Amino acid sequence: MKRYLNYINGEWVESASGRFAVNTNPATGEVLGEVTQSTREDVDRAVQAAKQAQKSWRLVPAPERAEILYKVGELLKERKEELAQILTQEMGKVIEEARGEVQEAIDMAYYMAGEGRRLFGDTVPSELRNKFAMSVRVPVGIAGFITPWNFPIAIISWKSLPALVSGNAIVWKPASETPFIAAEFVRIYEQAGLPKGLMNLVYGSGSVVGNAIVDHPEIDLISFTGSNEVGRQINERAGGMLKRTSLEMGGKNAVTVLEDADLDLAVNGIIWSAYGTSGQRCTACSRIIVHEAVKDELERRLLERIAQLKLGNGLDESVDVGPVINRSSLEKIDEYVKIGLDEGAKLLCGGRIVTEDGLEKGNFYAPTLFTDVKPDMRIAREEIFGPVASIIPVKSLEEAIEVNNSVEFGLSSSIFTRDINRAFQAMQDLDTGIVYVNAGTTGAEIHLPFGGTKGTGNGHRDSGVAALDVYTEWKSIYVDYSGKLQRAQIDNY
């Protein structure tokens, strides 16, 4: 059986715990290999390596650091298909989406490599003569990363590439469900010639390894993507130690369809956003807010399309919807469907665990659509993280925006309309971090900030140039070349 080990200080090492956990393929139940389970001591070893490595890394000119990122981009590109296959086997998303996810990491590598020659600060005029003023970005130090399984290569690329180009070192705990793609990503850094100790991979549970990262006094910042429940705990613990935390958490994203929308386009957008990645994207569409004038027609067209979706192993190119990540996720989704029925929502299709056609060994849930859902029902408010969408009828754009904004999350939203005035109204009033006009709720491009408002985040962004704000401190520098003491605000007034 394949064994996966920690990567600490440039070496692949087994935890002293001697314990291993198995990794399975969610489409087939097949065991893929086993993974070392680490302890607090392993985390500490990783932190010591990171500390040592960061001392010299921070002094390497950023354009030189970026050379390694370009190499990472090249290697990812060469291995794109192989990485996509590993991703699909381990996590279940269909192969086309897995390829897209690897591409996201490639794009991020080149984009952040470019930052090696930018990392812009400001030069501004001083209010005094013969004085120079500027602000520069400096690394924060040691970054602790805790990441989820649903985008196991994209999310670590959003975090690690900006962190490294700006001079930090990393201790990373990937999700327990996706250890193999994590190892491959680290191997790419190794092959690209990243100095040892800058990227450390520590496998293990959230409660042991995750908490050890959060609690470690020498880790300066925590970047976490995952559920609200865990994010809140992390923020409390890390906040008590005055650590910087960047949190990207759940969503309850909605597509709004107005009565003037191109309905075919809206259906395409909804199908892709609600059932792609089996509804397990943080930006997945789980609410469909529709003007009552087009509700029946939209339902009819959606049902027609859902009936054509093919479930199965994501490695099969003809499959549209893969499995969900594990058994407990499958049960949670099914539980939500029961809650929806109890609350009086009308089930249009799906609503069951699939156990036929040879799919019984995997974790397959039938694409599900509810209608006549009220905005205050639990299925309209809580993150389900599966292929379940709910139609909520409304009477106007204003009501649609109110419903969209009524949940505790604020990640992504979308509106389909051909009316430019109403599109701009929506762009102004939808309160999410990401807004789409005439596209579904998913599909971020890496050079724009990614993240959400309200319960989705704590004000930071992954990706885009905004990511640099997480991994750098501002240093303001004044150079007085007047040869005398000049007091700002005093000597010049």
User: Considering only residues 24, 456, 460, 467, which one is a binding residue for ligand NAP as defined by CB under 6 A?
Assistant: 456
Q: In what helix (H) or strand (E) does residue 445 lie, and over which residues does it extend?
A: none
* DSSP per-residue codes, 31-58: EEEEEE---HHHHHHHHHHHHHHHHHHT
Interface residue with ligand NAP among 146, 169, 290, 354 (CB under 6 A) is 146
- Give the whole-angstrom CA distance, residue 253 versus residue 298: 18
Size of the site for ligand NAP (CB under 6 A): 32
The yes or no reply on residue 221 touching ligand NAP (CB under 6 A) is no
User: Which residue among 226, 362, 393, 455 contacts ligand NAP (CB under 6 A)?
Assistant: 226
Q: Any catalytic annotation for residue 285? A: no
* Residue 433 site contact among ligand NAP, Mg ion, none (CB < 5 to 8 Å, cut-off depends on kind): none
Q: Which of 249, 274, 298, 324 binds ligand NAP (CB under 6 A)?
A: 249
Q: Is residue 225 part of the contact set for ligand NAP (CB under 6 A)?
A: yes
Residues in contact with 180: Cβ distance below 8 Å, sequence separation at least 6, in sequence order: 2, 4, 23, 32, 33, 86, 90
Q: At what angle do helices 80-91 and 95-115 cross, to 10 degrees?
A: 120
Question: Which residues ranging from 416 to 445 are in contact with ligand NAP (CB under 6 A)?
Answer: none
- For 79-169, where are the alpha helices, taking DSSP H only? 80-91, 95-115, 154-165
Short-list 13, 55, 54, 56, CA closest to 35: 13
| C-beta separation of 98 from 85 below 8 A | yes
Cβ distance to ligand NAP smaller for residue 57 or 436: 436
The rounded distance, in Å, linking the Cα atoms of 458 and 401 is 22
Indicate the angle between helix axes 62-78 and 95-115, nearest 10 degrees.
160
Which of 205, 396, 476, 492: binder of ligand NAP (CB under 6 A)?
A: 205
Pattern 265-304, binding to ligand NAP, x per CB under 6 A?
-----------------x----------------------
175 lies in the binding site for ligand NAP (CB under 6 A): yes
Q: In the annotation, is 177 catalytic?
A: no
90 binding partner (options ligand NAP, Mg ion, none; Cβ < 5 to 8 Å by kind): Mg ion
Pairing between β-strand 169-173 and β-strand 142-146 as defined by DSSP bridges: parallel
Query: What φ, ψ does residue 478 adopt, rounded to 5°?
Result: -115, 130
Of the candidate residues 26, 116, 250, 387, the single one contacting ligand NAP (CB under 6 A)? 250
- Catalytic residues, by residue number, are 248, 282
Binding positions for ligand NAP, rule: CB under 6 A: 146-151, 173, 175-177, 205-207, 210-211, 214, 225-227, 230, 233-234, 248-251, 282, 383, 385, 411, 452, 456
